[in-house]
Structure 1
Amino acid sequence: MSRRDTLQLLLLSAVWGASFILIEISGHSFPPAWVALLRLTFGALFLWAVLRLGRRSLPPARFIPALVAVALFNNAIPFIFFALGEHTVPSSIAAVLNATTPIWALLITMAVQSTRPNRFTTWGVLLGFTGVMVVVFSHGQDSQRHVSNAEFFRGVFFIALASLGYAIATVIAKIKLKGLDPIGLATTQLSLAWLMVLPVAAFGAHPLHIQRSSFFAVMLLGVAGSGLAYLLYFDLLSRIAATHVVAVTYLLPIWGLFWGFVAHEPILWTAYLGVVVVIGGLVLLNTTSFDQLKAALALPARKKPEVEVEYDAS
């Protein structure tokens, strides 16, 4: 990758990694459905502007059923559930839980395609979930928090469902939405999800006292986390291999811990250990051979032994 691509990849991971702390700050004033609705509002407005200025096209009408499914599982449900879960779960732990998305996506894809996992995939799944469990259960015993274990694990459950929703949407998009204009796809997704979340927010709890920090957080969450991030992501995909873009997945838990540290969240040492284990699992998930694993770890590849060939001179 070029220096520009590397910097853009880091920027994308930082923006997406900051989404978790922005969700938490937004939740100080807005109920979960309103966090989702406002995030979708600002994100969709930003992408509609980009769509019109760039003269990009919306997907054909025949893709509407698949688009509705992706909007539901990739935006409407996760945006509400993350906001709901982060009422009792620190944003840094939410970022680690979100790292299970590629694991769920791989398992769903293998189930749909009836394929068997190789040994790297099996160990990657086990290692990834082990790292998440280390983080979750150690923080479940954290006495510095002001929520009960039941409330904490209920929040974990909602965030886990949100991550599963991302995975389901990923599988649907890969099968049903190939070849579409990415900006048109993202704009349609957010707009359809906005229509789904609107009645939930309208007939549910309403915000009472809106803090300025919460409003700016949800606006930044929409414009950057759900608008600008899409542009960075699809721009990277247009220039570099998808296997390189997936490096964002490895960086999100790290950024989640970083932004949580900046926000003075209590982070146990086990969280850092768990993130290392999770990232190790994600590396294994994208590995098919020992040489590829060495390349991922930046280790020198083992040279194949030279074979002596005898020639018949007769």
Structure 2
Amino acid sequence: MSDVHKKWFYLILLSLIWGTSYILIKKGLRGFTPFQLGAIRILISSALFLIIGGKTLRNIGKNEWKWVIISGLIGSFIPVFLFAFAQTQIDSSIASILNSLVPLFTIIVGYFYFRTTFKGRQLLGVLTGLGGAVLLILIGSTMNPGQNYWYALLVVVATIGYAFNANIIKTKLSELTPLTIAVGNFSVMFIPAIFILYFSGVTDPEVLNGNFFYSSFGAIIVLAALSTCVAKVMFNRLIQLSSAVFSVSITYLIPIVGIFWGLMDGEPFEMQQFLAASLIILGVYLINREKIKKPTKV
């Protein structure tokens, strides 16, 4: 398979994997609490990463460990629980759309905290995307009065964490390989996850003997193995095979998969929500669109 075919293969497969994450979280919450789901997901992912690349931990220097820990907390540990809590009140399809805010917040965080610059077109993209997110939340709260759409802000906070993490990796951990960073991230999350799971009541008979215990546990295993471990390695490979602009195209495809699974599971999705979601995607497009260079006259 040529590199051209490989990059398209990875792009489509990653979209399917990450787009399916939100429905898997929803299924996992049928048998577990958000704390239990998050802790189990982290523990499984940590174990797999340590088995795959535990030896790479020796490559992390003393000065880099601080940033590895911060990266792990705000880029993986906290967002895992935020998404789980958010989806107790909002639909999985809405969560997948709001996750598209990551490129927008990456621009904002990079400018204010890491002194990176952005163009006027990108500023327009940020404002357009944020406007779409606000509309999506307001429309959703009106259409679903039984759901508490304040919980959608938890997803927004998670995307801000992802944005900080992206900038930290770019500016502070550029000397480490993606696998080393991932293994380091999850190695520091292992112990806290054990404590959270222990005090979460996961051993209560109501949980262990619940009707959805096995199906929910299976959903979490798939979520941890595919969406966290396999997808991270595949995305790193996609970046190596293609350009950064091509790689972020996944941002446009994930919500499509998330909405599809939501509709299949009976979640409502109206035209007003589609229009608001389109504003978010348009904002992401404006941020990542490269200006076409005119040929130089000889």
Return the TM-score normalized by structure 1: 0.84
Is 1:165 the equivalent of 2:161? yes
**Structure-1 residue corresponding to 2:22:** 20
Using the TM superposition, give the Cα deviation of residue 288 of structure 1 relative to its aligned residue in structure 2, in angstroms: 5.2
Higher Rg of the two aligned structures: 1
**Structure-2 residue corresponding to 1:200:** 196
Residues 58, 184 of structure 1: 8 Å contact kept: no
SS in structure 2 at match of 1:89: coil
Tell me which of 166, 171, 176 is aligned to 1:175: 171
Distance in 1 of aligned mates of 2:97 and 2:126: 14
**Structure-2 residue corresponding to 1:59:** 59
**Structure-1 residue corresponding to 2:106:** 105
Using the TM superposition, give the Cα deviation of residue 203 of structure 1 relative to its aligned residue in structure 2, in angstroms: 2.6
Is 1:273 the equivalent of 2:270? no
**Structure-2 residue corresponding to 1:219:** 221
1:64-213 to 2 correspondences below 5 Å? 64-114=65-115, 117-143=118-144, 146-147=146-147, 151-153=148-150, 155-206=151-202, 208-209=206-207, 210=210, 211=212, 212-213=214-215
Percentage of identical aligned residues: 24
Residues 51, 183 of structure 1: 8 Å contact kept: yes
**Structure-2 residue corresponding to 1:295:** none
User: Which amino acid letter does the alignment assign opposite residue 152 of structure 1?
Assistant: Y
SS in structure 2 at match of 1:265: coil
Residues 59, 181 of structure 1: 8 Å contact kept: no
Is 1:36 the equivalent of 2:38? yes
Structure 1: gaps spanning 5 or more residues:
293-301, 308-314
**Structure-1 residue corresponding to 2:12:** 10
Using the TM superposition, give the Cα deviation of residue 283 of structure 1 relative to its aligned residue in structure 2, in angstroms: 1.0
Using the TM superposition, give the Cα deviation of residue 173 of structure 1 relative to its aligned residue in structure 2, in angstroms: 1.3
Distance in 2 of aligned mates of 1:257 and 1:271: 11
Using the TM superposition, give the Cα deviation of residue 22 of structure 1 relative to its aligned residue in structure 2, in angstroms: 0.8
Tell me which of 235, 238, 251 is aligned to 2:237: 235
Using the TM superposition, give the Cα deviation of residue 285 of structure 1 relative to its aligned residue in structure 2, in angstroms: 0.6
Residues 126, 287 of structure 2: 8 Å contact kept: yes
Using the TM superposition, give the Cα deviation of residue 58 of structure 1 relative to its aligned residue in structure 2, in angstroms: 4.8
Q: Relative to structure 1, is the Cα distance of residues 239 and 58 closer, same or farther in structure 2, using a 3 angstrom cutoff?
A: farther
**Structure-2 residue corresponding to 1:264:** 266
Structure 2: gaps spanning 5 or more residues:
none
User: Which amino acid letter does the alignment assign opposite residue 231 of structure 1?
Assistant: V
Return the TM-score normalized by structure 2: 0.89
SS in structure 2 at match of 1:100: helix
The alignment yields a C-alpha RMSD, in angstroms, of 2.3
Distance in 2 of aligned mates of 1:48 and 1:89: 33
Q: Relative to structure 1, is the Cα distance of residues 117 and 175 closer, same or farther in structure 2, using a 3 angstrom cutoff?
A: closer
Q: Relative to structure 1, is the Cα distance of residues 91 and 249 closer, same or farther in structure 2, using a 3 angstrom cutoff?
A: same
